[in-house]
Structure 1
């Protein structure tokens, strides 16, 4: 029996055939793995690589519509195929060995959890380590802090497909913050958690940072924070203040402040 028969990797892709192949080749599982690549209007179209232990299917979008629409279509396709768990990853990122089996086992043992992340190594485009993301693991801690800090690394998530459909799926209402939008809706009826071990190498491409996209993401996040803020939770208001600072201060200033803060924390 295939222990991962009800799991599928969900990966949107826009161009970057080599990155698609490198990312999928990073998975090391003891059972065969299903993959759904959502080709978001690539030119030339993405082709399915041949990788031992993987059954790869491509869903082609008629034109490039952005990651939000690609993920929405991908989840709908997985639901139609009877897949229970969708494991997210993005092109360029790498999985650690056994990630899918570990996440599935946790979700089977914790049926209230609809969204499960893992800790993340953040690396440069040449693979050099930059820093680690170790968000809270327990559902209660995540609920308290979800509007104040990044509690999940989106490409590390495993999602219950039926819960995502019930919550309204991914949507384009909050551009560049589609993950936070979905997570907040999932947490209304379900729990979220993180496995406190590393499951992902996340590639940070500083050269690809767009000021327009960054402002869109921060503005979408601020809208979500204002909509979901709890008057009695000071962390929610801290998150709102941080988003306002991101809108007001130049990116280079914020990077400098973050670097000094991380250095101070590391030496404490």
Structure 2
């Protein structure tokens, strides 16, 4: 068995799943744990997945009986990963792509810095027209803490974390729908040193049907809830919650106009 498992939730996107699996390099020593979240329109094509998979590891498939939501699919996968005894969990979503040695590079960093429990990277976002932009997240733990009081300092499909941390803090929260990753990463940040690599190790699909756009108001409401949970009474924390509340209350087009006028690049 490999030390790392790549956790991929799936919902009605077998071609995207195959593309994600095909992006993992042939020399990568990693198993893939794939959880179908009750797909009905387009279920997993296991033969297509096995044809796409080149890495030195196994494919393991799990199927939820009906659509429960991504947090339940992720937790089903995490429970299987914990039961199997893996050391690391890497994340990827269907249609998102790894650079060929992403897993090895993240594992090497975590082996070099055993105190770090959560590790992300820079991510390039793409759509049908090509690459759109690259997001460079803060790299040091102190920078990450400051960013987390504003917004997520990790891009979900880029992260790798230790199962030892999962055993301590538990599974993804189910009370923060559309922002389960922000809540989960806060739990890591509050307890362990964390980091982001400056290199782009993941390419992520950008589209208006993604959770950040299609469920924006729900995500913003959960963001306020999480920021309040980790509120530290600093003036900056008060300002960040006020910004999040304004972002929730105002239309997206209006908040974008305000950002352009103020020259603000990080107020979502």
Structure 2 length-normalised TM: 0.89
Alpha-carbon distance, 1:162 to partner: 2.2
Tell me which residue corresponds to 2:181. Answer: 179
How many residues are aligned here? Answer: 259
- Output the CA distance in 1 between the equivalents of 2:138 and 2:99: 19
Aligned partners of 2:198, 2:206: CA distance in 1, in Å? 21
Alignment of 1:109-128 (within 5 A): 109-124=112-127, 126-128=128-130
The CA distance in 1 between the partners of 2:122 and 2:237, in whole Å, is 22
Tell me what 2:29 maps to: 32
C-alpha separation in 2, matches of 1:78 and 1:210 = 27
Return the offset for 1:65.
0.4
Verify: 1:13 aligned to 2:10, yes or no.
Answer: yes
Residues 1:241 and 1:66: Cα distance change in structure 2 (over 3 Å): same
* Aligned mate of 2:169, from 167, 170, 193: 167
Other structure's SS at 1:245 match: helix
User: Are 1:120 and 1:134, in contact at CA under 8 Å, matched by a contact in 2?
Assistant: yes
Cα deviations by residue, 1:100-157 (Å, 9 ceiling, x for unpaired): 1110111111122111000011112x15222211111011111122121331001100
Give the match for residue 45 of structure 1: 43
* Structure 1 gaps, min length 5: none
Partner of 1:238: 239
Rate the CA distance shift 1:260–1:158 in 2: closer, same or farther, 3 A.
farther
SS at 2:5's partner residue?
A: strand
- Cα distance in 1 for residues equivalent to 2:43 and 2:190: 38
Structure 1 residues 209 and 192, CA, compared in 2 at 3 Å: closer, same or farther?
A: closer
State the SS of the aligned residue for 2:118. strand
Q: Distance in 1 between matches of 2:3 and 2:212?
A: 37
- Counterpart contact for 1:79–1:162, Cα < 8 Å: no
| C-alpha distance in structure 1 between counterparts of 2:250 and 2:172, whole Å | 30
**Is the Cα contact below 8 Å between 1:90 and 1:155 reproduced in 2?**
yes
In 1, are the aligned partners of 2:208 and 2:214 still within 8 Å (CA)?
Answer: no
User: Is contact 2:71–2:173 with CA below 8 Å preserved after alignment?
Assistant: yes
CA contact (8 A) 1:87 1:100 kept: yes
In the superposition, relative to structure 1, how do residues 75 and 241 fare at CA in structure 2: closer, same or farther (>3 Å)? same
1:127–1:203 Cα contact (<8 Å) kept? no
User: 139, 142, 145: which is aligned to 1:143?
Assistant: 145
Gaps of 5+ in 2: none
Alpha-carbon displacement from aligned partner over 1:40-82 (angstroms, at most 9, x marks no partner): 1112431331122342110111211000111111111100001
Question: What pairs up with 1:53-132 in 2 under 5 angstroms?
Answer: 53=55, 54-124=57-127, 126-132=128-134
Aligned-partner Cα distance in 2 for 1:28–1:175: 32
Q: Per-residue deviation at 1:87?
A: 0.5
> Over aligned residue pairs, what C-alpha RMSD do you find?
2.1
Does the aligned pair in 1 maintain the 2:117–2:194 contact within 8 Å?
A: yes
The 1:238/1:27 distance shift into structure 2, 3 A limit, reads farther
Contact 1:41 1:64 in 2 (8 A): yes
